Amino acid sequence: MYDRGYCGAPWLGALYGFDVRFIQRFKHRHHLITEQGEKKAAWKIACGKKGLASRTVYDAVHHRNVEGSVLFFPVRHPDYPDWPLTLVVGRRKGLEPIYLLTNEEIFTTEDAWKIVFAYMRRWRIEMSFRHLKSDMAIQSLRVYRWEDRLKLPGLLTLAYGFLMNLMRQQMRTARDWLLDLACHRRGRRLREVDIPFSRRRLALSKLWLAFPCWFVRRGKFNL
């Protein structure tokens, strides 16, 4: 899955060479070859076409429901004319359409919606990277030996998995107790909004600093 910054011919060539499945956010001004053999910008291919299979979808970026529809067109890239591709256009009311280029076979509007939803889920991946970099400090690994670098991401993965496990509905009682004890949030509005990942991490950090594990206390005693 690639964003618009990687929609050039070199990246497409790499995908073509490795023969992998992909979804790529395509720039609307970049050109493609239509089924009729015409070379057009992506936005012109869909211009004047009525959207299909309208439905209400949730926009996770803007946190609201929007009316959307899809279109799909068999296309080819000018630099790789022998490679069959599909241009999927996702339209959202009040927002700019998104243009997705993929090598997945698409026969129905339901297939097209699957491509749109698959791309939209990338936002969760971006949020995961954000948490790993800001809360888990994965960008600050101050070790240089390869073996040590392998160990630290393993520990980070375990810690991240434990924090994500606290988000499950089954862990609600333990999670609420932890937040009330170590990271209480005052005010009705603040209590009703979604619980951020960083608040759970901060609550655990305060709890373990206040009540360290037995092996941590023994380590300090031996010093």
What residue ranges do the domains of the chain occupy? Answer: 4-120, 127-214
At 7, the pLDDT band (50, 70, 90 cuts) reads confident
Contact 41, 29 (CB under 8 A): yes
Q: Is 200 helix (H, G, I), strand (E, B) or coil?
A: helix
With 50 as the cut, is the pLDDT of residue 222 above it?
A: no
Measured in whole angstroms, the distance separating CA 218 from the mean position of its chain's CA atoms is 42
- Over residues 43-61, the mean pLDDT reads 85
Please state, in angstroms and rounded to a whole number, the distance separating the CA atoms of residues 161 and 171.
Answer: 13
- Say which CATH class 4-120 falls into: alpha beta
Q: Give 110-132 pLDDT, tens digit per residue.
A: 999 999 888 887 777 777 777 77
Model-wide pTM > 0.75: no
Tell me the per-residue pLDDT of 87-110, one tens digit each, with 9 for 90 and over: 999 988 878 889 999 999 899 999
Number of C-beta neighbours around residue 42 at 10 A: 23
Instruction: Render the burial of 180-204: b for 16+ CB within 10 Å, e for the rest.
Output: eebbeeeeeeeeeeebebebbbebb
Residue-level pLDDT at 87: 94
Among candidates 125, 75, 65, which has minimal Cα distance to 95?
65
Task: Give mean pLDDT, residues 6-35.
Answer: 86
